[in-house]
Structure 1
Amino acid sequence: MTEEIRNTLTEEVKKLIAAPSACQEAKAACEKWLAAAGTADEEAATAILKKEVNADIMPIDGLIGFAGSDAGKALFGEERAAAILAHAKDIKEKGARFCDCPACSACAEIIGTLK
């Protein structure tokens, strides 16, 4: 891995760790990657990170479905769920393929960097 890619990943991994909507598994994979960056364990940690961010990024249609569901309303509350649903539909109309929350945005950047 080049130093430029490592630096970009480090920045995005830190964003994912800081994202309130990131799950604990993603944060753990990020912490492991940071600890392994630049070491002999980097390749294995990168594979784990890549698998985790691909599993965690929310496709826009999944967000729309969840925000509009009873489970989404129970989690977010009626008003917040409606706002999330409207936002998700708006960004989908503009071409978004994924949720744009901080966690999903960091996942998308990590995925793009690791291609």
Structure 2
Amino acid sequence: MKKETLDYVIEKTHVLMNAASCSSEAKAAAQSWLDAVGTANEAAETKKYIAELEADIMPINNLIGFADSEAGVKCFGAELAKNIAAHAREIKAAGAGYCDCPACTAVAEILARKTELL
């Protein structure tokens, strides 16, 4: 892997880990990957990291469905859930395929370099 790609993904991984919206599973996978960089385990951890990121990124339709659901209202509160659903519909109409929260944005940026990582 090119140093430029590695540096970029390391930077975006730190952004991901610092995002309030980052899941504990993604955070753990990110840390495991960072710990493996430059070791014999790097390739295996990279595959695990990519798999976790692909599982965690929130497709826009799933976000809309969740925000509009009873579970979304319980999670976010009625007003915030309504606002999240409206925002998600706006970005979907503009062409977004995924949530644009800080964690999903970082994941999308990392996954854009997936072929360079593997």
* Superposition TM-score, scaled by structure 1 size: 0.97
Residue deviations 1:22-78 (CA, integer Å, cap 9, x gap): 111100110011111122211111101100000000000000000011110111001
Contact 1:8–1:113 at 8 Å: present in 2 too?
Answer: no
Report sequence identity in percent.
50
Equivalent positions of 1:1-115 (< 5 A) are: 1-115=1-115
Distance in structure 2 (CA, Å) of the matches to 1:51 and 1:40: 19
Further displaced range: 28-37 or 89-98 = 28-37
Residue deviations 1:94-115 (CA, integer Å, cap 9, x gap): 0000000011111111111113
Q: Which runs of 5+ in 2 are unaligned?
A: none
Contact 1:64–1:88 at 8 Å: present in 2 too?
Answer: yes
The list of structure 1 runs, each at least 4 consecutive aligned residues, that deviate by more than 4 angstroms after superposition, is none
Q: Which runs of 5+ in 1 are unaligned?
A: none
State the superposition RMSD in angstroms.
0.7
Q: With CA pairs under 8 Å and 6+ residues apart, which has the higher RCO, 1 or 2?
A: 2
